[in-house]
Amino acid sequence: MRTSPVWSPEQYGTYADERGRPFADLVRRVGAEDPRTVVDLGCGPGTLTATLLDRWPTATIHGVDSSPEMIAAAEQLRAEPAVADRLTFEVADLRDWSPAPGSIDVIVSNATLQWVPEQLDLLAGFVRVLKPGGWLAIQIPGNGDAPSHAILRELASSPPYAGYAADKSLRPDVPGPADYVEALSAEGCSVDAWETTYNHLLAGENAVLEWVKGTGARPVLQSLPDDLRARFEAEYGERLAAAYPRREYGTLLPFRRIFAVAHKTPSEAGR
């Protein structure tokens, strides 16, 4: 049975501008001029999904996320009737998402597929549901070796936390740009893949702790009993503060991300 953490739209929204920059950089590389149907797989609270309304003014935008909490937050964006006609959301696991072949113009998946060990195996299915000439755009974090994650794994695997959290700190190995080029080229796509390290300058006290509490550390924190969770967070926060010291100008968080944009050629309509 598949299980996932209960995600917090509020915590995830911390440092929203920094989290949103890779999404904008990803979408900027999609060459679709007048798509009719755009899907955001792993849409989260929908804030970034809604920006696609302006990017493609004639398109219907549909967000998919496995978290009911995230979709509940996203639904609030549909309050205006003009927006509600073009913006929809659905609770679903992207591994089970299966629209009709050749029915989607653009698929975007931002900071989601890193949670899916078999993500490369899913790419053929994503390409299959694209219309001829459609686009698939993917961005995932590639910072698994960063101190934020190394400290998390080490602490979660030590007493007294290991019995609850050791397996929750593990992440699948993520593909690199060349892996995406190989997998998507095999599906008849032209592929643009690259990586970027953002140097985020974060404000606030123990800023990196607040960042990871909304994403990578959340499965670990939720796996712990209440008494251990507070202790873990204090220890983790202390070690993060040492690894990412706060300066007068803020806290610097280097963050590597991996991108791939694939264009399905019209000749691949039969795939």
Residues 136-184 pLDDT 10s:
999 999 999 999 999 999 999 999 999 998 887 777 789 999 999 999 9
> What structural domains does the chain harbor?
9-268 (3.40.50.150)
Size of the chain, expressed as the number of residues it contains: 271
What is the pLDDT averaged over residues 13-37? 90
Tell me how far CA of residue 195 lies from CA of 25, 26, 33, 234, in angstroms: 11, 11, 25, 33
Query: How far is residue 102's CA from residue 74's CA, in Å, rounded to a whole number?
Result: 26
DSSP string, 146-192: SHHHHHHHHHHTSTTTHHHHGGGG--PPPP-HHHHHHHHHTTTEEEE
Q: Mean of the per-residue pLDDT values for the chain?
A: 91
pLDDT bin (cut points 50, 70, 90) of residue 3 is very low
Q: Which structure tokens are listed for 124?
A: 């053929």
What is the pLDDT averaged over residues 197-201? 96
DSSP H or E run through 225: none
- CA torsion 115-14-7-97 (nearest 10°) is -50
Mean pLDDT lowest among 114-123, 185-194, 206-215: 206-215
Q: Which structure tokens are listed for 150?
A: 């190394």
Report pLDDT for 216: 79
